[in-house]
Structure 1
Amino acid sequence: MKKATLALALLAAASALPTYAQQQGVHQQSTEYEAPTDPLVVQKLDKWRDQKFGLILHWGLYAIPGIIESWTICSEDWIERDSTIAYEDYKKRYWDYSKQFNPTKFNPEQWASVAKKAGMRYLVFTTKHHDGYNMFDTKQSDFKISSGPFKNDPRADVAKYVFDAFRKQDFMIGAYFSKPDWHTQDFWWSKYATPNRNVNYDIKKYPWRWKKYQDFTYNQISELMHNYGRMDILWLDGGWVRPKETVNAEVRSWGAPIPEFSQDVNMPRIATMARQAQPGLLMVDRTVHGPYENYQTPEQKVPDHQLANPWESCLTLANNWGYVPNDVYKSPTKIIHSLVEVVAKGGSLLLGVGPRPDGTLDQEAVTRLEAIGKWLDVNGAAIYSTRSTPLYQDGSTYFTQGKKGTRYAIACLPENQAAPTTLTWTGNVPKKGSKLTLLQTGKSVKWSASGDKVTLTMPAGMSTQAGAYPALAFAFVPEK
Structure 2
Amino acid sequence: MAKTVEEIRAVNAQGKYQPNWESLSRMPVPAWFKQAKFGIFTHWGLYTVPEYSNEWYSRNMYIKGMPAYEHHIKTYGPQKDFGYKDFIPLFTAKKFDPQAWVALFKRAGAKYYFPVAEHHDGFQMYKSDLSHWNAAEMGPKRDLLGELRQAALGVGLHFCTSNHRAEHWWFMGHGKQFDSDVKEPLQKGDFYWPAMPEPDNQDLYSTPYPTKEYLEDWLQRVCELIDNYRPEMLYFDWWIQHEAFKPYVKEMTAYYYNRAAEWGTPVGICYKYDALAWGDGIPDVERGGFEQQKPFYWQTDTAIANNSWCYTDSLDYKGTNELLISLLDAVSKNGNLLLNVGPRADGSIAPKDRQILEEIGDWLAVNGEGIYGSTCWKLFGEGPTNIKEGMFQDLSGMHYGPKDIRYTANNGSVYAYLLSPAGASEATLTAFREFDEHDQPAFHAPIKRVEQLGVGPVSWYIDKAGLKVELQPNADNRPIGLKIMVE
Equivalent in the alignment of 2:431:
427
Deviation at 1:337, TM superposition (A): 1.6
The normalised TM-score by structure 2 is 0.75
Equivalent in the alignment of 2:393:
none
Deviation at 1:97, TM superposition (A): 0.9
Asked if structure 2 preserves the Cα contact closer than 8 Å seen for 1:52 and 1:348, the reply is yes
What are the within-5 Å matches in structure 2 for residues 274-289 of structure 1? 274-279=256-261, 280-287=266-273, 288-289=275-276
Asked if structure 2 preserves the Cα contact closer than 8 Å seen for 1:233 and 1:283, the reply is yes
Equivalent in the alignment of 1:440:
454
Equivalent in the alignment of 1:409:
416
Would the alpha carbon gap of residues 364 and 286 (structure 1) be closer, same or farther in structure 2, given more than 3 Å must change?
Answer: same
Equivalent in the alignment of 1:226:
227
Aligned pair 1:161/2:160, yes or no? no
What are the within-5 Å matches in structure 2 for residues 37-436 of structure 1? 37-38=25-26, 41-42=27-28, 44=30, 46-67=31-52, 68-70=54-56, 72-73=58-59, 80-83=67-70, 89=79, 93-151=83-141, 156-178=142-164, 179-181=166-168, 182=171, 185=187, 194-196=197-199, 202-203=208-209, 210-228=211-229, 230-237=230-237, 239-244=238-243, 262-264=244-246, 266-279=248-261, 280-287=266-273, 288-290=275-277, 294-319=281-306, 320-395=308-383, 396-402=404-410, 404-414=411-421, 417-418=422-423, 420-428=424-432, 429=443, 431-436=445-450
Asked if structure 1 preserves the Cα contact closer than 8 Å seen for 2:197 and 2:208, the reply is no
1:319-362 per-residue CA deviation (whole Å, 9 max, x = no partner) reads: 22101124232221221122111111221111010010001111
Deviation at 1:432, TM superposition (A): 2.5
1:209-265 per-residue CA deviation (whole Å, 9 max, x = no partner) reads: 82222221222122211112x42101112x233353xxxxxxxxxxxxxxxxx3446
Give distance in 2, aligned partners of 1:273 and 1:297. 21
> Secondary structure, in 3 states, of the residue corresponding to 2:467?
strand
Give the AA of the match of 2:449.
K
Give the AA of the match of 1:234.
L
**1:449 alignment partner, one of 432, 438, 462:** 462
Deviation at 1:195, TM superposition (A): 3.3
Give distance in 1, aligned partners of 2:163 and 2:225. 9
Give the AA of the match of 2:413.
T
Would the alpha carbon gap of residues 433 and 219 (structure 1) be closer, same or farther in structure 2, given more than 3 Å must change?
Answer: closer
Q: How many correspondences in the alignment?
A: 406
Deviates more, 1:132-141 or 1:328-337: 328-337
Asked if structure 2 preserves the Cα contact closer than 8 Å seen for 1:430 and 1:478, the reply is no
Would the alpha carbon gap of residues 437 and 193 (structure 1) be closer, same or farther in structure 2, given more than 3 Å must change?
Answer: closer
Deviation at 1:105, TM superposition (A): 1.0
Deviates more, 1:352-361 or 1:88-97: 88-97
1:299-331 per-residue CA deviation (whole Å, 9 max, x = no partner) reads: 112323322221111111122210112423222
Alignment root-mean-square deviation, CA: 3.1
Give the AA of the match of 1:276.
N
Would the alpha carbon gap of residues 84 and 322 (structure 1) be closer, same or farther in structure 2, given more than 3 Å must change?
Answer: closer
The normalised TM-score by structure 1 is 0.77
Asked if structure 2 preserves the Cα contact closer than 8 Å seen for 1:339 and 1:348, the reply is yes
> Secondary structure, in 3 states, of the residue corresponding to 1:400?
strand
Identity of counterpart residues, as a percentage? 22
Give the AA of the match of 1:241.
I
Deviation at 1:477, TM superposition (A): 3.3
- Alignment gaps of 5+ in structure 2: 1-20, 173-185, 384-403, 433-442
Asked if structure 2 preserves the Cα contact closer than 8 Å seen for 1:386 and 1:400, the reply is yes
Give distance in 1, aligned partners of 2:293 and 2:302. 17
Give distance in 1, aligned partners of 2:23 and 2:329. 24
> Secondary structure, in 3 states, of the residue corresponding to 1:318?
coil
Give distance in 1, aligned partners of 2:114 and 2:81. 27
> Secondary structure, in 3 states, of the residue corresponding to 2:366?
helix
**1:477 alignment partner, one of 471, 479, 485:** 485
Would the alpha carbon gap of residues 445 and 82 (structure 1) be closer, same or farther in structure 2, given more than 3 Å must change?
Answer: same
Deviation at 1:118, TM superposition (A): 0.6
> Secondary structure, in 3 states, of the residue corresponding to 1:296?
strand
Give the AA of the match of 2:197.
T
Would the alpha carbon gap of residues 433 and 314 (structure 1) be closer, same or farther in structure 2, given more than 3 Å must change?
Answer: closer
Give distance in 2, aligned partners of 1:392 and 1:108. 37
Would the alpha carbon gap of residues 131 and 433 (structure 1) be closer, same or farther in structure 2, given more than 3 Å must change?
Answer: closer
Deviation at 1:370, TM superposition (A): 0.6
Give the AA of the match of 1:277.
R
Give distance in 2, aligned partners of 1:190 and 1:63. 21
Would the alpha carbon gap of residues 281 and 193 (structure 1) be closer, same or farther in structure 2, given more than 3 Å must change?
Answer: closer
Give the AA of the match of 1:242.
Q
Deviates more, 1:116-125 or 1:141-150: 141-150
1:356-401 per-residue CA deviation (whole Å, 9 max, x = no partner) reads: 0001111111111111111100110111111112322112111111
Give the AA of the match of 1:445.
V
Give distance in 2, aligned partners of 1:200 and 1:306. 34
> Secondary structure, in 3 states, of the residue corresponding to 1:427?
helix
Give distance in 1, aligned partners of 2:96 and 2:482. 41
Give the AA of the match of 1:73.
R
Deviation at 1:147, TM superposition (A): 2.2
Give distance in 2, aligned partners of 1:340 and 1:35. 34
Deviation at 1:35, TM superposition (A): 11
1:119-168 per-residue CA deviation (whole Å, 9 max, x = no partner) reads: 111111100001111101111111111222322xxxx0000011111111
Equivalent in the alignment of 2:13:
none
Give the AA of the match of 1:267.
V
Deviates more, 1:312-321 or 1:176-185: 176-185
Would the alpha carbon gap of residues 271 and 436 (structure 1) be closer, same or farther in structure 2, given more than 3 Å must change?
Answer: same
Asked if structure 2 preserves the Cα contact closer than 8 Å seen for 1:125 and 1:175, the reply is yes
Give distance in 1, aligned partners of 2:187 and 2:407. 51
Would the alpha carbon gap of residues 308 and 91 (structure 1) be closer, same or farther in structure 2, given more than 3 Å must change?
Answer: farther
Give distance in 2, aligned partners of 1:342 and 1:80. 35
Give the AA of the match of 2:409.
Q
